[in-house]
Amino acid sequence: MSSLFRGVYNRHIHSNSKLSLKVGVSLLLLCIGLMSISPIKAATLTLSSLNWPPYTGEQILAGGASVEVVRAALKAVGHDLKVDYYPWSRTIRIIKPAHSIYSGYFPEYHFPSDEYVFSDPIGVSPVALIEQQQFPIRWSNVKDLNQYRLGVVHDYQNTLELDAMIASGMQPVEKANSDEHNIQKVATGRIQGAVIDKYVFNYLIKQTHLSELHKKIQLNKQLLETRTLHIAFKNTAEGREWRQALNKGLKMIDKDKIVQQYLSTIE
């Protein structure tokens, strides 16, 4: 090989090497830049929840109607969902530490908060009263309920007006650890009524250990309120980023259809 050709060849190799190095560095910087845009480090959203069928539950079909909606919305934007189930008080408490693996909890009613940011609605919850069939609760205004002792579940949100009356002492209540306990307490006459989601009651009263009680109790003829269900994300950069991703996915699916199809499969 002539010295002239060797020189041209060496310059060509050197030039290609410099070009490859520049391309490699550029790609590395691009990757680092993309990683820094979003605080979401993985494509799986991890949430805490409770056993609240038919909305959520470890032992029910597909994890529940709310889980189906959230999973579909995340799938629409390329993400996955992981849900761990706990008693309600722990569901909320476990997400609070800074090192918690959970970005939020659900399902939750919207309430004023600086600690959480709420997703767009993932469904609705008809908040109702159950009562003894022989002694129905008669009311037209929520304040009329003050004459009855009602059961509520510890740490559950009810309606804003009812919760305000409970906090002020105007509304007599007994707290229970679950909706099942309140169903049993109403059936035995220990309390005159209890606050419960309509679909939760319809699900629970069909379960073997409670089914006999349907002869004694019923839903009151009017709802307290229909409230929207949400994910409560931690009010952090990562929580807000996940909320944005989920809300985008919710716009891409028919959540009402998903819920109705789910409910029809368990009736």
pLDDT tens digits, one per residue of 54-109: 999 999 999 999 999 999 999 999 999 999 999 999 999 999 999 999 999 999 99
HSE-CB of 130 using CA atoms within 13 angstroms: 32
The answer to whether 258 and 65 have CB atoms below 8 angstroms apart is: yes
Find the radius of gyration of the CA atoms of the chain: 27
pLDDT > 70: percent of the chain: 84
Summarised one tens digit per residue, pLDDT across range 127-181 is 999 999 999 999 999 999 999 999 999 999 999 999 999 999 999 999 999 999 9
Instruction: Give the range among 7-16, 206-215, 246-255 with minimum mean pLDDT.
Output: 7-16
Residues 26/34, Cβ–Cβ less than 8 Å:
no
Give the three-state DSSP class for 95: coil
Helix (H, G, I), strand (E, B) or coil at 76: helix
- pLDDT tens by residue, 37-64: 444 544 899 999 999 999 999 999 999 9
The Cα–Cα gap between 6 and 173 comes to 94
Beta strands in the chain, from DSSP E residues, in sequence order: 44-49, 80-85, 104-109, 116-118, 123-132, 150-153, 173-176, 193-197, 217-219, 225-234
- Give the three-class secondary structure for 128: strand
